[in-house]
Amino acid sequence: MRIEVKDIRKGFRGKQVLDGISFAAEAGKCIGILGGNGSGKSTLLSILAGVQSCDKGSFFCDGKDLFRDSVLRSTLVGYVPQGTPLIEELSAKDNLSLWYDREAMEKELADGVLRMLGIHEFLKTPVCKMSGGMKKRLSIGCAVAKRPPVLLLDEPSAALDLDCKARISQYLRRYKEKGGILLLTTHDVYELPLCDEWYILRGGVLVPFEYDGDVSRLVKSL
């Protein structure tokens, strides 16, 4: 599988937030997009997920333009936004029930992705009483219910404790090993080793960056 993003453009109130964004990724790879607050990272992911439209551009998966086929896109692409796309009044289990049938949920809780993410530990907890880490893990669990081969994550471990970061990282590594394609935005150096390619989004332009573990050089480049 291969995805290709071509010439994505988006303007707001006379400002060009995304100015010709293009990149590609093969199966089993992770693309990391870095940039300052307000640089357009979340806008880019929301466009690829179909939450908002772009002014121009294409999003191909194996040659098929997902912008022109929303049904296919919903099958192939999972999306975990910064916010919490969960129903606050419902428990973790009830939220999962909106995405999984009973048999599939029980299997995943026993020895699958939901187990790996530790969701079995707080199944009966209402979302409104969950920690940020619980909500993020549950959001990922819901996003991958249909086993999408492409996963978009907007700062997946922001402000989470080390245990939660480790659980999410373990799952994402496994996702890559099984041939999934990851696209994540991040401010967190903990996530950078997950990536196979790095880009910096600055002034609406996506610039390739070679991350060698030198955080100081990275900060100066943002």
Handedness of CA 63, 69, 73, 75 (dihedral sign): negative
- pLDDT at residue 219 tops 90: no
**Strand residues in 122-172 grouped as ranges (E):** 150-154
Protein fold of 2-84+146-221: Rossmann fold (3.40.50)
pLDDT tens digits, one per residue of 10-49: 999 889 999 999 999 999 999 999 998 889 999 999 999 9
Q: What are phi and psi of 171, to 5 degrees?
A: -65, -45
**Strand residues in 28-180 grouped as ranges (E):** 30-34, 56-61, 64-65, 77-80, 150-154
Cα separation of 220 and 107, whole Å?
46
Cα separation of 140 and 191, whole Å?
15
pLDDT tens digits, one per residue of 39-98: 999 999 999 999 999 999 999 999 999 999 999 999 999 999 988 889 999 999 999 999
Domain map of the chain by residue range? 2-84+146-221
Query: Angle formed by the axes of helices 162-177 and 132-143, to 10°?
Result: 10
Q: Would you state the structure tokens that stand for residue 157, as one six-digit string? A: 């471990």
Which pTM value belongs to this model? 0.93
How high is the pLDDT of residue 157? 84
